[in-house]
Amino acid sequence: MSSLYLLLQHYFQLPQAVVHSVVLPLDLFNNVKVVASPSQITVDGIKLWHTSSTPLDQVPEDIQFQFAVKESLKEISTTSKSGLPCTDEDCRTAKGKPRTRSQCCPNQRCASCCRRAFGGCTQHPINGQRSTALASDLSPSPSATASTSEISEPISESESNSAGSQTVIEPRRFARPLTEGWGQALASQHKRYETTRQLAEAETLANQEPHHVQVSSKHPKTLVVADQPLLIEVLSDPKSFVTVYAPKSHKWFSQEVTLPITHDGPCVLLRSYNLEDSDCLNLELEVVRLFGDSHSVLQRSASSALMPMSGSSSSGTPKALDPSTSSRRTFPRKYVVDMVAGLKKLDGLKGVVALKEAFIGAFEGCTFSSSTVYNALKVFRDARKLGLLDKYQAAARTDDGLWSKLVKETKESEGDGKLKSLKKEDSGTLESSTEESQSDDSDDGPDYQVWTVRISHIDYNQFVEYDEEQCLGAHYLLETDGIPLVLTFDNPTCGGIKRVCLGLAALNGKKTPLAVKFFGYKQAPNWWKICSPSLYLTLFTEATRLYQLREAQRAFVAKAEQVGMAITAFEVVETYLVELKTKPTEAEVVMIAQPWIYGQAVNPEELENDETFSAFTHFCYQYFNNERIDVHFQAIRDSGRIYIYDSLSHLILDRSSGKCNFIRSQGRIGIMEHVQKHTCRGKCEKLGLPSMVEA
């Protein structure tokens, strides 16, 4: 029997095992079977009772209740499919019919009656709390020896009345703040939403072109808006007021639509009464086109509301206030000399957010409108190419230095084709014009923009030999998407323009994607073919700048190893020149290329706070004989190593040298600005670098 005991003990150790009878073979030779009754076996201290011999007083109370509920459900399902009515006599529907009670409710009531009379049950709890009356109903009587069918009898009226007399305390059903600042997050989110909505609405208004409408009037030099249905429709329900521009006083006046508008010229400028200057696209240009160059800075007079535009009223109005004395200043400013300094700070920025932040600092008190700012930047860049800025800046705050005159002259030059011809001149002529317009102390440079394109999956399918005198190194003719690439091993060096590199030897024989950079004018039709007024000179200068930065990085690492100083692992990627041809017969397009680095972009602030790159900036300043400084490094992190692919370089360049300055270089001004900001730390001292200020 020991084997039988072990088998049974192992079987009943299974979790939640319910067995009515177990048949185990003991003797396979004699075919003897033994039936073990589970009522005689104890599992975890509990005696199994699922046999007819288990007395009722040993059955747990919750099991008795479950059995009674199941029996009652069987009776309900056999008598009525829809269920029995609620036992409360006053429980009726809107049509006077009794409500159906819940099938699983022990009180035989509907949900509302059960909660009202008994404080709820297991099927109808109130806020997760069980009723005390339900617990008292479930307690068995001392003489619980009757059959299980007696448990399912209806509850008497005396029991229900006693249970209903108990007071049920319901908790609060409303939420209250846990802290004083509970609504701060909601308020901040609502504020951000409103700011975004208002900005989008303002830009939508500013992007609508003005309507040009031709109407006839009954009297000469007089216009009544109320008599013109077309004007009423175009102004989008102006109600009873309209705003009129007076060219003599350079102000906007609000007047009733029934009053006549007197005008000397053939044109009248109107707008809705609820619009501001920043909501009108190209407003400055429209005023110049309609009224010539006699207008001043557009502004709305707060004291001119409901004032009719007549000869007597307009003559008595005060003159326009100077923008410097007004609390709310308008943009564009009145004079060119007040615009150039701020526009230089905005030039080259990308994105509306960065442009808006710089605009607030450059033009304090002015309302920002992206379309107006972009138009002003376009005029500024075109005037810089035409060489008009110096003339208007020299005129200072006089009539010859008005911003409106510069806008008009720039537009006329663009219409005559002067600006277009300037972009298409040959390299020899434009080299001299670039030298005259650029100085070492100004940041006026070509209107360049940079785009980076990745070229991958290059197949080395043909080897081409070139004359050694024509170009140093071996060459390979590569094809990708029908565009042949001519690549060489040569790095750009001073003295001449070499054809590009990135051959098999430079990349260890691996196919490597290229990051190709385009320099050009975005507004030009073939911007990718126009690199600069001097195509090859600019490309060679930029490639040489990055090549020299790599040489400085190698010298910096060697110096750090010599003095035993630990630095952040970084390197400057190699830079090459690439020639692309759309067709074999066409001339090649030269671009700057670098190996494509896979990884994560590094935050520029992280590099500025790193002591290694601060010391590297100081080292470059000494390496280039205090005539060049490299800041604002752009890098990518891959496998714990930082790869620098670009930087901002300021170079002091002599005008008579005949060389081209770096893109975005501010000359001596940019160098002195960063020299004053630099603070020498431990790594600078360990490298033995002298103070940048003293140098």
Q: What is the pLDDT of residues 30-47, one digit of tens each?
A: 443 344 444 455 555 555
Give the residues across from 27 on adjacent strands: 32
How large is the angle between the packed helices 184-206 and 370-386, nearest 10 degrees? 50
Tokens representing 558?
A: 């060697």
Alpha-carbon dihedral sign for residues 544, 550, 553, 554: negative
Closest-CA residue to 501 (of 636, 597, 634, 595): 595
Strands of 527-659 (E only): list them: 570-572, 576-580, 589-595, 600-601, 628-638, 641-651
**Cβ contact 597:636 at 8 Å:** yes
pLDDT value of residue 317: 36
User: CB count, 10 Å around CB of 58?
Assistant: 8
C-alpha 71/C-alpha 243 separation (Å) is 85
Distances from the Cα of 620 to the Cαs of 53, 272, 444, 606, 644, in angstroms? Answer: 99, 58, 24, 19, 14
Residue stretches of the chain with pLDDT short of 70 = 1-54, 73-83, 127-182, 202-208, 236-239, 292-329, 414-514, 518-537, 578-591, 655-659, 695
For the stretch 625-636, pLDDT in tens is: 889 999 999 898
Closest-CA residue to 43 (of 67, 65, 75, 11): 11
- Helical residues (DSSP H) of 395-534, grouped into ranges: 403-416, 418-423, 427-437
C-alpha 533/C-alpha 433 separation (Å) is 9
Is the backbone of residue 295 left (phi > 0), alpha (psi -120 to 50) or beta? Answer: beta
In the chain, the N- to C-terminal Cα span, in Å, equals 103
Contacts of 200 (CB under 8 A, 6+ apart): none
| 3-class DSSP state of 52 | coil
C-alpha 594/C-alpha 543 separation (Å) is 10
Domain 450-686 has CATH 3.40.50.1100: no
Residue owning tokens 């099938």 = 103
Q: Helix and strand tally (H, E) in the chain? A: 21, 20
Q: Which amino acid type is present at position 650?
A: H
pLDDT value of residue 642: 93
C-alpha 507/C-alpha 489 separation (Å) is 10
| 3-class DSSP state of 498 | coil
C-alpha 2/C-alpha 226 separation (Å) is 114
Tokens representing 610?
A: 């790193």
**Cβ contact 415:643 at 8 Å:** no
C-alpha 50/C-alpha 59 separation (Å) is 9
CATH 3.20.200.10 in the chain is located at 450-686
